[in-house]
């Protein structure tokens, strides 16, 4: 156990931090989902290994009452690693020497349920389907990419990619809510191939809850010379195609179903659609409608988020804050964070209460102190018109934007969530002292950047602010 909540059922029963879980009611759980179902019962009998010996205790509690003990890992047995070799996989584009956890390439439906990771279903089995249905593991997130069997097998570099979408049909038949993703690669699965995928989704998978079209990200470390980013005209074509199919889906299904990532609108030089065009922001964390939701929050209008928004199933009691739920701010990590995946996103989202910051950040800010918002190149394009507008009247002087170039990854990577500590440090080192520097928490996980630098390694004190419009507005107005 890595944490035990004060006055919880676990604490009262005597469970301690450092105890190793052995079994619950005589059963050995294989993951935090099974653990959660077992301890959800009344008065569970818990076996623990403590300082080399096994102890057994009954935890007095009501059925449905939280145990109050967090385990160290979401999966107790072996994670199902991905056996695909996609040429566009971003993990293959990571250099050596980064955080070890970044190199885990999973294709595990359990992590899809817990954290919103996308699975290709190439390692999915009948037993997995039985478990998903039995335990109600819904929603799940599936990487579709294309519905053409040969093209999908080629993109995944896995012959099972040609047939694994049969599991998508089986999941939908079983009533499981599934969100789909298409990573669009120029001259591979765009154009006519993307058009065919939309038609097949309408014919074969109309029950999908949502489908996100996101652009491939290419770093300077990519080992695949044939993989490239989108030209602006190609981005325009994707946006046009998605909007055309939104009309088709709306006409036939009564909902838009498919959405283009914000990054496409930036690449195409198109204005973002209004917040209403993203319905319940079902794939907000995947870069769909982030800019619109950010603007809504900044101007005081709470966007209508669907029930799955924020933190991906943080209600699973005991699940560790890994991946999308990892604490962002160093000084205020909680068990109920709603954070954003460190992946190919333009802005992020967090319902994290309060704002953290570096140890030497001032506790109270002067209203006339110069303010600089640190962000990525795409983030700056979103923020600039908001800060230049006259609709908010913050009691501060002019707000500066510091758009940090991603020299570490290079290539087409311009999203804020992929900024490294060394790039932020380099940019801050050239800034004047005496400013308030606001850093979005999407740059951090457990208080550290992707390259494992911490806030204390930066040359200027920064305030870490949740990456949503309302939080930035409060920070600019001098509120905590």
Q: How far apart are CA 3 and CA 150, in angstroms?
A: 48
The DSSP result for 354-420, as a single string, is: S--B-TTS-SS--TTS-EEEEEEHHHHHHHHHHHHSSSS--SSSPEEEEEE--TTT-TT---GGG--
Model confidence over 346-397: pLDDT tens digits?
Answer: 323 332 223 333 333 433 445 567 899 999 999 999 999 988 875 655 555 6
CATH number at residue 182: 3.80.30
pLDDT in tens, 305-315: 765 433 333 33
The DSSP symbol for 94 reads: P
Show contacts of 233-240: CB within 8 Å, 24+ apart.
234/186, 234/190, 235/264, 235/267, 235/268, 236/268, 236/269, 236/270, 237/190, 237/191, 238/184, 238/190, 238/194, 238/213, 238/264, 238/268, 239/264, 239/265, 239/268, 239/270
Based on the domain organization, do 331 and 468 belong to the same domain? yes
Residues 36 and 96 in one domain: no
So what's the pLDDT on residue 193? Answer: 98
Specify the pLDDT at position 338. Answer: 28
Chain centroid to CA 67: 27
Residues 330 and 459 placed together within one structural domain of the fold: yes
Q: Are residues 19 and 132 in the same domain?
A: no
Q: Please tell me what DSSP assigns to residue 123.
A: T
> Quick one: 205 and 340 in the same domain?
no
Output the pLDDT for position 390: 55
Domain that holds residue 410: 323-476
Give me the residues of the chain with pLDDT under 50, please.
308-315, 324-325, 329-365, 479-480
Which pTM does this prediction carry? 0.86
Give 3-59 pLDDT, tens digit per residue.
999 999 999 999 999 999 999 999 999 999 999 999 999 999 999 999 999 999 999
Q: Which of 244, 271, 298 corresponds to the end of one domain?
A: 271
- DSSP strand pairing (53-58 vs 45-50): antiparallel
Same-domain check for residues 36 and 131: no
Q: Within a domain: residue 338?
A: yes
The verdict on 119 and 195 lying in the same domain is: yes
Across the chain, how many H-helices and E-strands are there? 13, 13
Number of domains in the chain: 3
Asked whether residue 246 is assigned to any structural domain, the reply reads yes
What is the model's pLDDT at position 355? 31
What pLDDT is recorded for position 368?
A: 66
Same domain flag for 152 and 11: no
């Amino acid at each position: 156990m890595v944490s035990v909540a004060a006055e919880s059922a676990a604490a009262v029963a005597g469970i301690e931090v450092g105890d190793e879980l052995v079994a619950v009611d005589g059963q050995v759980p294989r993951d935090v989902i099974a653990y959660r179902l077992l301890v959800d019962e009344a008065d569970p009998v818990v076996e623990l290994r403590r300082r080399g010996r096994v102890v057994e205790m009954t935890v007095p509690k009501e059925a449905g009452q939280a145990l109050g003990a967090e385990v160290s890992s979401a999966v107790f047995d072996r994670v199902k690693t991905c056996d695909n070799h996609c040429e566009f996989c971003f993990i293959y584009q990571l250099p050596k020497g980064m955080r070890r956890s970044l190199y885990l390439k999973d294709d595990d439906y359990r992590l899809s349920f817990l954290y919103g990771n996308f699975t290709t279903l190439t390692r999915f089995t009948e037993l997995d389907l039985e478990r998903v249905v039995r335990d109600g593991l819904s929603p799940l997130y599936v990487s579709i990419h294309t519905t053409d069997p040969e093209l999908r097998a080629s993109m995944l570099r896995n012959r099972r990619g040609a047939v694994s979408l049969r599991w998508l049909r089986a999941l939908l038949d079983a009533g499981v809510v599934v969100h789909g993703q298409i990573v669009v690669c120029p001259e591979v699965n765009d154009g006519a191939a993307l058009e065919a995928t939309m038609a097949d989704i309408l014919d074969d998978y109309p029950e999908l809850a949502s489908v996100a079209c996101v652009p491939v990200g290419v770093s300077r470390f990519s080992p695949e010379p044939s993989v490239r980013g989108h030209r602006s005209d190609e981005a325009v074509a994707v946006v046009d195609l998605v909007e055309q199919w939104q009309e088709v889906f709306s006409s036939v299904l009564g909902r838009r179903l498919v959405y283009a990532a914000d990054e496409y609108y930036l690449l195409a030089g198109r204005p973002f659609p209004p917040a209403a065009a993203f319905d319940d922001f079902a794939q907000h964390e995947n870069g769909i409608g982030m800019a619109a939701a950010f603007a809504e929050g900044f101007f005081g209008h709470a966007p209508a988020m669907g029930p799955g928004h924020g933190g991906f199933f943080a209600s699973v009691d005991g699940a560790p804050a890994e991946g999308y739920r990892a604490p962002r701010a160093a000084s205020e990590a909680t068990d109920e964070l709603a954070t954003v995946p460190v992946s190919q996103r333009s802005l992020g989202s967090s319902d994290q209460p309060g704002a953290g910051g570096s140890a030497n950040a001032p506790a109270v800010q002067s209203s006339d102190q110069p303010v600089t918002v640190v962000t990525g190149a795409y983030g700056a394009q979103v923020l600039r018109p908001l800060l230049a507008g006259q609709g908010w009247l913050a009691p501060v002087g002019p707000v500066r934007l510091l758009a940090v170039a991603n020299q570490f990854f290079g290539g087409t990577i311009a999203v804020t969530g992929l900024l490294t500590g060394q790039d932020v440090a380099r940019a801050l080192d050239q800034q004047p002292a005496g400013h308030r520097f606001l850093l979005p928490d999407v740059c951090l996980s457990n208080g550290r950047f992707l390259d494992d630098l911490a806030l204390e390694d930066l040359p200027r004190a920064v305030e870490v602010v949740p990456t949503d419009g309302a939080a930035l507005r409060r920070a600019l107005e001098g509120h905590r």
